[in-house]
Amino acid sequence: MTYGNKIEALGPPTRRAIFERLAAGPLPVGKLAETLPVSRPAVSQHLKALKAAGLVTETREGTARIYRVDPTGVAELRDYFDRFWDVALGAYKRSLEGGDA
């Protein structure tokens, strides 16, 4: 639920690939698996992790499960790196000017 969990959730390349495909538009598990070099259960497991991290949402349509990127989750990551960038840049400038350690 925190940004840390989100970053961690996006670490594995396959999971990031799933996430980026969903960014283009909602997809059911099967369609998602077709475009990936792993099995459908593997995709399901990754989706479970992404959902737990608050990065995707799930809706049901008949027997299908449609997954979408959760914009709120992405915003949280974006904001984190925004703030982080400010802090890091500040520290960097200080370290150059001050000659401090």
The binding site for DNA (CB under 7 A) comprises 11-12, 14-15, 28-31, 37-49, 58, 60, 62-65
Q: How far is CA 99 from the centre of its chain?
A: 38
Task: Give least dist CB 19 to DNA, A.
Answer: 12
Closest to DNA by CB, 41 or 90: 41
Q: How far is CA 96 from the centre of its chain?
A: 34
From the list DNA, a second copy, none, partner contacted by residue 34 (C-beta under 5 to 8 A by kind):
none
Kindly tell me the sign of the dihedral angle through the C-alpha atoms of 60, 66, 69, 71: negative
Question: Quick check: 33 binds a second copy (CB under 8 A)?
Answer: no
Question: Quick check: 34 binds a second copy (CB under 8 A)?
Answer: no
> Please, which residues have CB within 8 angstroms of residue 67's CB and are 6 or more apart in sequence?
22, 26, 27, 28, 29, 32, 47, 51, 56, 57, 58
Residues in touch with a second copy (CB under 8 A): 4, 7-8, 10-13, 16, 20, 22-28, 61, 66, 68-69, 71, 74-75, 77-78, 81-82, 84-85, 87-89, 91-92, 94-95, 100-101
